[in-house]
Amino acid sequence: MRKKLSIRAGLAATGFLLLAGGHPQPALAEPLPGGTLSPSDIPKYAAPLIIPPVMPSSTSDRSVDYQIAVREFRQQILPAGLPATTVWSYGSVDHPGTVADGGSFNYPAFTIEAKWSVPTRVRWINGLVDESGNYLDHLLAVDRTLHWANPELLPCMDGTTHTDCRPDEANGPFLQVPYDGPVPIVTHVHGAETFQDSDGYPEAWYLPNATNIPAGYATTGTLYSEFKFSSPLGGKWEPGTAVFRYPNHQRAATLWYHDHTLGITRLNVYAGPAGFYLLRGGTDGDRFTDNTATRRAKDGMLPGPAPGPGEDVNGLTAGSVREKIREIPIAIQDRSFNSDGSLFYPGTRTFFDDFEGPFTPDQVDALGTSDVSPIWNPEFFGNTMVVNGRSWPVLEVAQALYRFRLLNGSNSRFLILTTDDDADNADGVSPQVTFWQIGADGGFLPAPVMLDNLILAPAERADVLVDFSGLPDGTEIYLLNLGPDEPFGGGAPGTDFPLADAGTTGQVMKFVVNAALTGKSPTDPNGATPATAPGNLALPQRVELGQESRTQFLSLNEEMSAFAEAIPEFDLPIAALLGTVNPATGIPTALAWMDAITEEPEVGATEIWEMWNFTVDAHPIHIHQVQFEVVGREVIGGGTSVAGSNEPLPWETGTKDTVIAYPGEITRVKARFRLPGLFVWHCHILEHEDNEMMRPYCVANPDGSRPEACDVADGNLLPAMD
């Protein structure tokens, strides 16, 4: 959705003067507005990249593999000399404290290492309480005019009172004030093929087991008890927790875990909780060959090792093994900060477009009331790049091949990554090292793909090899971002859209070649088992899905204020919606989260889901439970996709769980739905996901019956009581 600066004539004029600040605007791009700390005042490349260590297993309860809580703590995200930042993230409760204290709580979280076909059981704990056991407020402003968890049980728009609804404006003017009660969470392992009870359904949230939960609050969401009673591990679900299970039967892949609570995912994720979940092994996970062998295939070798259990990989102790690490997960996120170090995220709609409301949709009229939510912003772009929890870090690398598992963990920002010898790219784009992409969301590609530019939408992952061998000691290589500081619509950087600000969000991190590290890993060129050159690497092949039994015709829509036609200054986006489309007429039906389920595959069915994007922006669409094949794209009305081809792009030829749906195009994916139950599909721009761009879907039971949870979601059955 595009920011519209001319709102009401009077207001817009004032806003413009404030923005201009009385001095001339430079012609070059500028840092985005954010908090009170200017990103230009944050020194770059001042601190080393943190390598996420391995999440320690549960020691106090051996009936689960991990006991992982979300807690609040302070962490030095900005360089030394600037204040620390209060964040939330995950850690093992048996290993309390932050990394600085020898504990396991870190933003981003430690990596969960999973083995193919060995199930993982995690007790996920809502630990958002203080030392007295009282609940903590949210770090950010919660908009309770959205369709959201509603634990305070405000009366809903539909005239009844329940969790997971859009509260009625008749609740009074305080509806426009941020919610300050206990914070619900529920964790989703993104890309995991797991059961409905363990998927982190947005209405299966739970509050912390705090001592001061206000009377009358619901402590769990609509589906929590349903899943607790249907899960074989339900007996282990204690107040403030849920125990989820992951079968790990899918292909080896780079997955990640993060919060998924209805209507506040953007805020919960922005506050910090997210980590990698790496699934290794199986026939699709470790059969690499080196195709230069002439007589028979010989074993191929990927760069390694990755951090191992219990290892210090950040140079904190004398036993640190950092210098040998060659496989590193890298989570890239945009954030903004205040001068006291706190995270900045807009607490009012005026940040987006100067629109001041008020929000009273039932009384809307020309006098200035509106149906525009008072706090929610349609998108948010931070002005500071944070990589593995540090702003603009630097990584020393050996003259060797590295494996990076890249994740775009941003709320709204699309990244287009490249490398250069020059931080602000003043000499134009001239990549210093190329990316060899070997895997995407769902596992390995059929073959390595060499790329100068690598596009990553929010939530997408790329498993890449980068070769620093042969580069002189001291060589500096900058990882740059050529994506826009605004919603992405496809096309070429600098031609079809302005580049990110070269001085801030156009830079991500820096690599510095340190010859002294060369040879510290066995996969280095002079090591015991050197890694296979990317061009010679043969990757494990997968079995393709067969013929589909059905095509689902789906739509992506933008909702403008209901008063846009009558009152032009109300031409403002108020939500994004999924829905269906009639393929014969091309006419969409936009549907909200609460509307009845429209996608109901049979269990085991293979279906094509085609998504018609009627908005002006690209949306990363994520389908839970499955890893799908990208079938291709088609411009509505004909022509070539803005992606450059109507065929799947080379890096989309493996399996994926998130696909970019470009504006004005139909994007087709094919998936097999192996697990019965209630799941979701949604846009992974978190601001969209939180405001209606998410829909439930239902996979039938093996006997053809409808899972009970789907009836609960549709309102045909009352939720189970805890």
Given the rule CB under 5 A, which residues bind Cu ion?
Answer: 619, 683, 685, 688, 693
Q: Kindly write down the DSSP assignment for every residue of 245-275, as one continuous string.
A: EE---S-SEEEEEEE--TTTHHHHHHTS-EE
Query: Which amino acid type is present at position 354?
Result: D
Name residue, tokens 């589906």: 223
Closest contact distance (angstroms) between CB of 454 and Cu ion is 21
Closest contact distance (angstroms) between CB of 636 and Cu ion is 17
Closest contact distance (angstroms) between CB of 140 and Cu ion is 20
Residues ≥6 apart with Cβ < 8 Å to 143 = 178, 179, 263, 373, 374, 375, 376
Of 466, 439, 622, whose CA–CA distance to 540 is shortest? 439
Of 532, 411, 427, 391, whose CA–CA distance to 469 is shortest? 532
Cβ proximity to Cu ion: between 31 and 346 the closer is 346
Cβ proximity to Cu ion: between 414 and 478 the closer is 414
**Minimal CB distance residue for Cu ion:** 683
Closest contact distance (angstroms) between CB of 48 and Cu ion is 35
Closest contact distance (angstroms) between CB of 683 and Cu ion is 3
Residue 677: strand pairing partners = 699
Residue 604 in contact with residue 674, Cβ under 8 Å?
A: yes
Cβ proximity to Cu ion: between 129 and 683 the closer is 683
Residue 678 in contact with residue 709, Cβ under 8 Å?
A: yes
Of 104, 103, 46, whose CA–CA distance to 77 is shortest? 46
Cβ proximity to Cu ion: between 5 and 616 the closer is 616
Q: In angstroms, rounded to a whole number, what is the distance separating the alpha carbons of residues 629 and 648? A: 9
Closest contact distance (angstroms) between CB of 576 and Cu ion is 5
Give the total residue count for the chain.
722
Residue 283 in contact with residue 540, Cβ under 8 Å?
A: yes
Name residue, tokens 């036993």: 319
Closest contact distance (angstroms) between CB of 450 and Cu ion is 30
Cβ proximity to Cu ion: between 337 and 662 the closer is 662
Cβ proximity to Cu ion: between 397 and 416 the closer is 416
Cβ proximity to Cu ion: between 375 and 660 the closer is 660
Of 297, 328, 315, whose CA–CA distance to 400 is shortest? 328
Cα angle at 604 between 598 and 605, to 5 degrees?
A: 50
Determine if the peptide bond prior to 358 is cis (ω within 30°). yes
Q: In angstroms, rounded to a whole number, what is the distance separating the alpha carbons of residues 552 and 606? A: 11
Cβ proximity to Cu ion: between 218 and 683 the closer is 683
Residue 560: strand pairing partners = 573
Q: In angstroms, rounded to a whole number, what is the distance separating the alpha carbons of residues 681 and 664? A: 20
Cβ proximity to Cu ion: between 332 and 459 the closer is 459
Query: Which amino acid type is present at position 512?
Result: V
Of 589, 590, 591, whose CA–CA distance to 696 is shortest? 591
Closest contact distance (angstroms) between CB of 578 and Cu ion is 9
Cα angle at 420 between 414 and 421, to 5 degrees?
A: 150
The tally of CA atoms less than 13 A away on the side-chain side of residue 464 is: 26
Closest contact distance (angstroms) between CB of 574 and Cu ion is 14
Closest contact distance (angstroms) between CB of 356 and Cu ion is 25
Cβ proximity to Cu ion: between 143 and 687 the closer is 687
3-state secondary structure of 687: helix
Cβ proximity to Cu ion: between 68 and 683 the closer is 683
Of 627, 207, 666, 185, whose CA–CA distance to 440 is shortest? 627
Closest contact distance (angstroms) between CB of 557 and Cu ion is 10
Provide the b/e sequence for 317-332 (b: ≥16 CB within 10 Å): eeeebbbbbbbbbbbb
Closest contact distance (angstroms) between CB of 311 and Cu ion is 39
Residues ≥6 apart with Cβ < 8 Å to 322 = 51, 312, 313, 314, 315
Q: In angstroms, rounded to a whole number, what is the distance separating the alpha carbons of residues 424 and 44? A: 12
Of 691, 615, 685, 166, whose CA–CA distance to 376 is shortest? 691
Closest contact distance (angstroms) between CB of 689 and Cu ion is 7
Cβ proximity to Cu ion: between 415 and 502 the closer is 415
Closest contact distance (angstroms) between CB of 416 and Cu ion is 18
Return the number of other C-beta atoms located less than 10 Å from residue 543's C-beta: 6
- Burial of 278 from C-beta contacts in 10 A (0-12 / 13-18 / 19+): buried
Closest contact distance (angstroms) between CB of 674 and Cu ion is 27
Cβ proximity to Cu ion: between 643 and 693 the closer is 693
Rg (the chain; Cα; Å):
25
Closest contact distance (angstroms) between CB of 661 and Cu ion is 8
Residue 479 in contact with residue 511, Cβ under 8 Å?
A: yes
Residue 440 in contact with residue 461, Cβ under 8 Å?
A: yes
Joined together, the tokens standing for residue 522 give: 């066995």
Closest contact distance (angstroms) between CB of 695 and Cu ion is 12
Joined together, the tokens standing for residue 404 give: 């990076």
